[in-house]
Structure 1
Amino acid sequence: MSTDIENLFKDKVLGHPAGLFVLFFTEMWERFSYYGMRALLVLFLITSISEGGFGWEKAEALSLYGTYTMGVYLTPVFGGLIADKLLGYRWAVILGALIMTLGHAAMAVETPLFLYIGLGCLMVGNGLFKPNMTSIISNMYKNHSDKKDGAYSIFYMGVNAGAFLGIMLCGYIGENYSWSLGFGLAGIFMFIGMLQFYFTQNIFGDIGLSPKKIEAIKLEQIGKDGDQDLRLKELSEEKTPKKIIIDRLIAVGVFCVFTVFFWAAFEQAGGSMTIFANEYTQRNLIGGYGTLFKYIDALLTIIPLGIITYVLYMLFKKTFSKYAIGNMILSISFIIIWGIVGWKIYVDFSKESVEVPATWFGILNSLFIITLAPLFSKWWESKYNMSGPMKFGLGLLLLGLGFGFLSMGSQDIVSGQPILKVSMFWLIAAYLFHTMGELCISPVSLSYISKLVPAKWIGFMFGFYYLFIAMGNKLAGTVGSYIEEIEKAYSISGFFLIFAIIPVVAGLIIAGLNPLMRKLMHGVK
């Protein structure tokens, strides 16, 4: 190949190639749009028509939510194949981002027809975007497998930086001012993310080009070097025995199955946990508590945004001279964000009392990831690193404990009686444990797939992995849609207890499979 992948590691930002942080910011704006819209979707659907919503029943809204989130993770199966065989990773990402931009624009119209058109575009666009971002990282680090866990954790920090800002700002504007503005803001930053990636994509050299271009580069190199064996060498790159490949694919399959249990519970965040925040959580703060929350909320916004801006500055130092347009677009996006954040803080401090938006609790997951991801990244690179199955087991256990807090906190809520508002502590504790569980599973899953799967199947296998996440998301919406029935028959505490028990049991099972899984992985750590 004309471009040595090792060249990517010469210009480093925080110990990793500058290209990783181009992906970091592209993914950040895509996640801004996704989570910003997701934070509003269920609340918008169940809000009465007189207040600007659609007035749907909770079961109906949660069922659509589950179908949408399933579609978001189902389409990457096809998106990975299209990129592998036709477009290449880079053009798949660009086209996917454009389609998602159109989807967000459609949702801002706020009619049933455009709602379905918008959700359809978001599913299709995400299918092209999501698996191919991770495929680019996999190719970047194919000779640095020891740094993959850390790289994916940093990338995942970008994911959650976008989620944090999207939920915070789109949720705030949507709940307090206009649903259309909330959905529209998500689309604006999706478009910015696309432009930033487009104008900076050459930083990846030959990685992510279309199959035809890659083949042409190989043939050109053969002509220059006179090395007729080069092409044969590239076609025979994978020399791992067939039995080991099969065993490793079985290990990937096991991880995928347990991923379903994780996401079926974790994705209650956008559904039943949002409803719990909206209806059962004490969100009206007055006096000193209201003032304290204003300062905490301002700091929770400014500090993470400041850290991300510093990362942007570090990237500028390494890449601005070569990729000025992409960096300028990125800088404009941050100027806009800082402006919106400043306006939000000014408005909040001008109010005497505070009603915490129901969507606000969704930022906790992202905030905790931004805070904890560097620590977990260091943990996975240290001598105290755990095996993949043990990480999965720990992640599921922590997830179950988080729901245990919700079940405990809602014990006094009785169906059919005046609604009791419970302390925000229970949701905060739940999100903390859910986040630690997520850090043990989600970025680690991406890393293990990239290490266990042959390079030529990477795009497809990431899509295959997202298929199981799709199952988990649909299951989350389906079970979540029974929240009112389970609450009436038992209690809201019983509803959350289901999500406490099942992940813990699943976690113990996969931890028990650790010896077998390590054999199947044949030395991959």
Structure 2
Amino acid sequence: MSTTTAPSNGFFESSVLGQPAGLFVMFFTEMWERFSYYGMRALLVIFLVSTADKGGWEWTTERAMGLYGTYTMGVYLTPVFGGLIADRLLGYRWAVLLGALIMTLGHASMAFETETFLYIGLGCLMVGNGLFKPNMTSMISNLYKDHPEKKDGAYSIFYMGVNAGAFLGILICGYIGEKISWSWGFGLAGIFMFMGLLQFYFTQGIFGNVGLTPKQSKALKTEEDAVDTTPKKVIIDRLIVVFIFSIFTIFFWAAFEQAGGSMTIFADRYTQRVLTGNAGLIYKIVDALLTIIPVGIITYVLIKLFSKTFKKYSIGNLILATSFVAIWCIIFWRINREFSADTTEVAATWFGILNSLFIITLAPLFSKWWESKYNLPGAVKFGLGLVLLGLGFGFLAYGSMSIVAGQEVVKVSMVWLILAYLFHTMGELCISPVGLSYVSKLVPAAWIGMMFGVYYLFIAMGNKIAGSMGGMIEEITTKYSLTTFFLIFTAVPIGLGIIITALHPLVKKLMHGVK
């Protein structure tokens, strides 16, 4: 048995819900990181544009969206350097741990609510994410390198962890920030990020040799490089495919990331969020169920993980259990507070949980789809994802037809945002985890960390464009209409989806047998 396969065998020894137990250690670590990221992301723009009487800074939408775009661009730009640092110096594990620590400090800085600490905090979050994000995905790539047929499914399950964290972060940090205190909302994101750091540190033994420093794994890398030596033309062709997917990824994220900006503003200003009578009671019941059921499912996964790993990694598991006890306490406090209130007002940030909720619900189905005989080719998956994204904005365009610029008294049904998030989520499942999987399969093993960083660089471009375009919502609405604004995000993704689907024969040829 070769030394390259040895690290993966221990990883696959114990199974949780049909996947290796070690995958769920990553699942929960990534969950807390995404809790912190999306919890802060849900608050940033709405905090900056809120009036002083609500504790906000009264920034213009254009300025707030400009900062949002720069921040989200930085979050996906720094992984280029984070991947290189891990590949050449720290190794994946220490890069993840250091990144988590820096992000914790970033969230703590933002809790002070001064402009200086805001910029310090955002800077720390960019740097920390650069060390964390590409190297978690690189570890999965290395762990599954001898099981390429399982990668699409593994990344989809991992992506469910990403969105479980997003769900909890928006639900808890968004609610507390918007209704209790902005500082508490930003601060909670850092507390749970720190818990994730500790959990990963005390459970890292489950990964065997994978993710060690370059010096520790030198022998492994030497053999791995020899095994992965391919004819030069094949490597170039496959890198061209990565480049094609990356280009279309820019446009996907430029539209999708309106969720943290223009769609939140749409929810805040133009959506009917005050509910009375039976409508208010129904919302409270549905909201409670939407909160308890997903967290219950995640807790069930946690218990299954405990049954396989508690004896060997008790400290890490106890830290994880403590985090979930805290989460359940906050959830019950939140539900009780909502049912005790005389009036029902849906938080503008609440709609952000829909994306995560739909991911948690649909990811297992998509994972099964990608592993079945009905699996779609990569280019077709990307095309379908872009079309679904465009259709989601089509609902917002239609729902906005009654809104006239300057007349913010017009409020539209919440159903349009719900439908938009549903279609955006299905589009995301066709592109985001699949894109990560294809990068891991198309790139030589020795380049994984760096190339994940390069892939995130393209996502960074999309995020910056998202901020710039989102900042134009008021200008386009005043000059034309809000429907026109959303139609732009309808037409462009659908058109690009058709184009990349048509490129399938070329992409298939350039992939040289990679499925």
- Following TM superposition, by how much is the alpha carbon of 1:5 offset from its aligned partner in structure 2, in angstroms? 1.6
- Following TM superposition, by how much is the alpha carbon of 1:108 offset from its aligned partner in structure 2, in angstroms? 0.2
- 1:508 corresponding residue in structure 2: 498
Summarize the Cα distance change of 1:273–1:232 in structure 2 as closer, same or farther, 3 Å threshold.
closer
Residue 256 of structure 1 aligns to which amino acid in structure 2? S
Give the aligned length: 512
Secondary structure of the residue aligned to 1:53 is coil
TM-score, normalised to structure 2's length?
Answer: 0.98
Separation in 1 of the partners of 2:431 and 2:38?
A: 19
- 2:277 corresponding residue in structure 1: 287
Separation in 1 of the partners of 2:224 and 2:15?
A: 28
- 2:149 corresponding residue in structure 1: 146
- 1:299 corresponding residue in structure 2: 289
Contact 1:282/1:422 (<8 A) preserved: yes
- 1:496 corresponding residue in structure 2: 486
- Following TM superposition, by how much is the alpha carbon of 1:433 offset from its aligned partner in structure 2, in angstroms? 0.2
- 1:221 corresponding residue in structure 2: none
1:134-173 correspondence runs (5 A): 134-173=137-176
- Following TM superposition, by how much is the alpha carbon of 1:51 offset from its aligned partner in structure 2, in angstroms? 2.3
TM-score, normalised to structure 1's length?
Answer: 0.96
- 1:333 corresponding residue in structure 2: 323
Separation in 1 of the partners of 2:501 and 2:382?
A: 7
Q: CA deviation digits over 1:383-430, x for unaligned, max 9?
A: 000000000000000000000000000001011235310000000000
User: For 1:424, which of 402, 410, 414 is the aligned residue?
Assistant: 414
- Following TM superposition, by how much is the alpha carbon of 1:232 offset from its aligned partner in structure 2, in angstroms? 6.7
Q: Percent identity?
A: 71
Separation in 1 of the partners of 2:225 and 2:417?
A: 52
Contact 1:286/1:352 (<8 A) preserved: no
Residue 390 of structure 2 aligns to which amino acid in structure 1? G
Is 1:212 the counterpart of 2:215 in the alignment? Answer: yes
Gapped runs of 5+ residues in structure 2? none
Secondary structure of the residue aligned to 2:229 is coil
- 2:470 corresponding residue in structure 1: 480
Residue 363 of structure 1 aligns to which amino acid in structure 2? I
- 1:377 corresponding residue in structure 2: 367
- Following TM superposition, by how much is the alpha carbon of 1:235 offset from its aligned partner in structure 2, in angstroms? 4.1
Separation in 1 of the partners of 2:255 and 2:447?
A: 29
Is 1:274 the counterpart of 2:277 in the alignment? Answer: no
Separation in 2 of the partners of 1:190 and 1:239?
A: 39
Separation in 2 of the partners of 1:233 and 1:75?
A: 29
- Following TM superposition, by how much is the alpha carbon of 1:234 offset from its aligned partner in structure 2, in angstroms? 4.3
Summarize the Cα distance change of 1:244–1:88 in structure 2 as closer, same or farther, 3 Å threshold.
same
Q: CA deviation digits over 1:311-333, x for unaligned, max 9?
A: 00110011001100000000000
Summarize the Cα distance change of 1:233–1:84 in structure 2 as closer, same or farther, 3 Å threshold.
closer
- Following TM superposition, by how much is the alpha carbon of 1:49 offset from its aligned partner in structure 2, in angstroms? 2.4
Separation in 1 of the partners of 2:408 and 2:204?
A: 56
Separation in 2 of the partners of 1:232 and 1:338?
A: 47
Separation in 2 of the partners of 1:415 and 1:204?
A: 55
Gapped runs of 5+ residues in structure 1? 219-230
RMSD of the TM alignment (CA)? Answer: 1.0
Residue 491 of structure 1 aligns to which amino acid in structure 2? S
Contact 2:72/2:464 (<8 A) preserved: yes
Separation in 1 of the partners of 2:65 and 2:425?
A: 22
1:65-464 correspondence runs (5 A): 65-215=68-218, 233-464=223-454
* Structure 1 stretches of 4+ moved >6 Å: none
Secondary structure of the residue aligned to 1:329 is helix
Separation in 1 of the partners of 2:292 and 2:10?
A: 35
- 1:226 corresponding residue in structure 2: none
Contact 1:407/1:497 (<8 A) preserved: yes
